[in-house]
Amino acid sequence: MSWSTLPITSTGEGRITAASFVRSVPLMPRNAGIAVLHAYRSVVSPLYGDVCKYYPSCSAYAVGAVQQHGLAKGSALAAARLARCHPWAAGGVDDVPAHRDFRHTLTRHGFVVPPRKD
């Protein structure tokens, strides 16, 4: 698994530029969390196979939650999702609640960058 298996809402066409580098410093913890989740999705998730009752999978949900809400709140949302995932859960579609003031751009790998200022 990799960023190519993320839901389409978790990827974009944003890019980091030299001009936006300073503005991207506050996003570094969020992007570090996303990097850890990408590593998990590449190494550990394939060992489990396709066993998730929910769409998107719990790890893809975690990526979307951290992208939208930041590392702290996104991790809390992902933990709540993991708590809902048990053998008696009905499953189904469970999308990340959208952040009403999300103003960043996503890269094609799912990392968060500041929006372009044209």
Each residue's pLDDT tens digit, 87-100 = 898 889 999 998 88
Q: 36 - beta bridge partners? A: none
C-alpha torsion sign, points 105, 58, 36, 70 = positive
Q: Which residue has the higher pLDDT, 90 or 9?
A: 90
Q: What is the DSSP letter of 50?
A: S
* Closest to 95 measured CA to CA, from 83, 81, 84: 81
Stronger pLDDT, 28 or 51, i.e. the higher one: 28
Amino acid at 35: A
pTM: 0.85
Measure the CA–CA gap between 67 and 32, rounded to whole angstroms.
11
